[in-house]
Amino acid sequence: MYAILDIESTGGKYNEEGIIEIAIYRFDGHGVVDRFISLVNPEREIQPYVAKLTGINSKMLRTAPKFQQVAKRIVEITENTVLVAHNAQFDYRILRTEFRRLGYDFQRKTLCTVDLSKRLLPKAESHSLGKLVRSLGIAVSDRHRANGDATATLKLFKLLLAKDTDKSILKDSVRAESLGELSPRQLDMVEEMPSETGVYYLHNKEGEIIFIGKSKNIKKRVNQHFTNVGKLARALQKETKRVSYEKTGSELAALLKEYHEVKKTIPPYNKKGAHTGYSHGVYTHTDAKGFLNFTAERANGQVARLSSFGSMRASKNFLVQLNEQHQLSERKSQEQHNRKVQDILKKYSTENRNLILIDRGRQTGERSVFLIKKGMFKGFAFVDLNHQINNIHILESLITPMQGDAHTTHIIESYLRKEKALKIVELNQ
């Protein structure tokens, strides 16, 4: 017996979402034997993008039942079933979270139609629900509403059941009740993590670091380590006895700190030799008429680099973006065009420059500051006062030294391309 499930949530911070609509079809493998569809008053704010996507707004939910009023019906219709959903981990987590708020430990086996479709329909261009059912000719309406998506999932599941002729994939895909959920010990570790940007460290029973990671939401990422499937996830779930973290505020600080500490510590479960710098770049050249031009090339030590990339395709894509933004093909005069190119270089390039980059800090009033000398990253610091930033000698004494290389250059230049709210200050030395 299966319970085909789809949930629409409020959005918002991880594990703080609420259900705004739910649809469940009890399916015996042949036909639907029961169904439950309802809006739900989440008693919390709906994120604007959710309201736009689903068409559900707060006014519609004022008279809808609260979760505690529909909880018993959900328990009954899903009793002795395997929950089936497209990205089942999400729906199951949201459902368990709502029940946990009521003090009830809701547990069911789960089956994910994303996992199943990847195995049974490996040639599909996309395994997202909308694109997948459309490619299969499955009629679907009312997308991004619980009933519409649950109906689409039910039709998809019927097709997948038919394709699973020897039933081996179906048996292997059914997850144990505990999979995708946390043990009490893991739950405690996750609860201690902040939903903020930083670097985290997984420790074994001897206290040694076995994995270092970075995330814009440490709590969410650690939770994923404990709920994901796969060889690495299983190893980390088995060996992790403690998790520590350092908040950075700045995503750039997290990226650089993670790379520096993985290189220095060499944790057993981080990929070895994963970072080799950059293979391609966008460079400047002067043509016969004196105009500065950008070209995408394989990196071989040439000078006048605008930015570094991991592939020729990425380099060329950035060139297209630059041409669209700055109309580089429209050349009115050499002086005007070359000034435009120089301005672009100041915005994106670190090559042979003395700079400080200023980004957000860990708390209000604090900033992270990154020092670059002659194009090479030297380290970063957290500062509170402007005079600490403006005085290079004070700044150098505050900086935590880090060894710059081709990969730190690639990290920084990639970050600059993201149009982050990052202040660049040229140092005159």
Of the three residues 154, 173, 192, the one that is the final residue of a domain is 173
If you average pLDDT over every residue of the chain, what do you get?
Answer: 86
The pLDDT tens digits for 301-327 are: 888 899 999 999 999 999 998 888 888
Q: How many distinct structural domains can be found in the chain?
A: 4
Are residues 47 and 169 located together in one domain of the fold? yes
**Does pLDDT of 180 surpass 60?**
no
Which token pair is 276? 């080799």
Are residues 59 and 43 located together in one domain of the fold? yes
The pLDDT tens digits for 31-43 are: 899 999 999 999 8
**Does pLDDT of 63 surpass 50?**
yes
Are residues 386 and 284 located together in one domain of the fold? no
Pairs from 186-193 (Cβ < 8 Å, separation ≥ 24)? 186/226, 186/237, 186/240, 189/222, 189/226, 189/240, 189/242, 189/243, 190/219, 190/222, 190/223, 190/226, 190/243, 192/243, 193/218, 193/219, 193/222, 193/243, 193/245
Provide the domain limits for residue 293. Answer: 280-348
Would you place residue 170 in the very low, low, confident or very high pLDDT band (cuts 50, 70, 90)? low
Pairing, β 305-309 against β 280-286: antiparallel
pTM of the shown model:
0.63
**Does pLDDT of 66 surpass 50?**
yes
**Does pLDDT of 107 surpass 80?**
yes
pLDDT for 419 equals 65
Q: Which residues are bridge partners to 308 per DSSP?
A: 281
Are residues 133 and 39 located together in one domain of the fold? yes
Would you place residue 177 in the very low, low, confident or very high pLDDT band (cuts 50, 70, 90)? very low
**Does pLDDT of 135 surpass 90?**
no
pLDDT for 155 equals 87
Convert 181-193 to b/e letters by CB count within 10 Å (16 or more is b).
bbeeebeebbeeb
Q: Say if 200 falls within a structural domain.
A: yes
Of the three residues 332, 348, 364, the one that is the final residue of a domain is 348
Would you place residue 176 in the very low, low, confident or very high pLDDT band (cuts 50, 70, 90)? very low
pLDDT for 178 equals 47
**Does pLDDT of 205 surpass 50?**
yes
Are 24 and 35 a contacting pair, CB within 8 Å?
Answer: yes
**Does pLDDT of 211 surpass 90?**
yes
Are residues 134 and 252 located together in one domain of the fold? no
Q: Which residues have CB under 8 Å from 402's CB, separation 6+?
A: 256, 260, 377, 378, 379, 380, 408
CA distance 159 to 224: 30
Average pLDDT over residues 50-55: 88
Q: Say if 271 falls within a structural domain.
A: no
**Does pLDDT of 167 surpass 70?**
no
pLDDT for 254 equals 95
CA distance 66 to 78: 19
Are residues 42 and 138 located together in one domain of the fold? yes
Any idea what the CATH number is for the domain that residue 126 is in? 3.30.420.10
pLDDT for 267 equals 93
- Within 10 angstroms of residue 291's Cβ, the number of other Cβ atoms is 15
Give the residue ranges of DSSP H helices in 180-294: 184-191, 218-227, 231-239, 251-265
Are residues 310 and 415 located together in one domain of the fold? no
Better-predicted residue by pLDDT, 94 or 29: 94
CA distance 36 to 14: 26
Are residues 327 and 384 located together in one domain of the fold? no
The pLDDT tens digits for 247-261 are: 999 999 999 999 999
Maximum mean pLDDT: which of 135-149, 351-365, 410-424? 351-365
Q: Say if 118 falls within a structural domain.
A: yes
Are residues 149 and 22 located together in one domain of the fold? yes
Are residues 241 and 158 located together in one domain of the fold? no
The pLDDT tens digits for 224-281 are: 898 887 789 889 999 999 999 989 999 999 999 999 999 988 999 998 876 777 899 9
Average pLDDT over residues 369-385: 88
Q: Say if 321 falls within a structural domain.
A: yes
Would you place residue 45 in the very low, low, confident or very high pLDDT band (cuts 50, 70, 90)? confident
Q: Say if 178 falls within a structural domain.
A: no
Q: Say if 275 falls within a structural domain.
A: no
* Range of weakest confidence among 153-162, 269-278, 366-375, 376-385: 269-278
Are residues 165 and 314 located together in one domain of the fold? no
Q: Say if 179 falls within a structural domain.
A: no
**Does pLDDT of 179 surpass 60?**
no
Of the three residues 110, 140, 173, the one that is the final residue of a domain is 173
Q: Say if 274 falls within a structural domain.
A: no
Any idea what the CATH number is for the domain that residue 235 is in? 3.40.1440.10
Are residues 140 and 286 located together in one domain of the fold? no
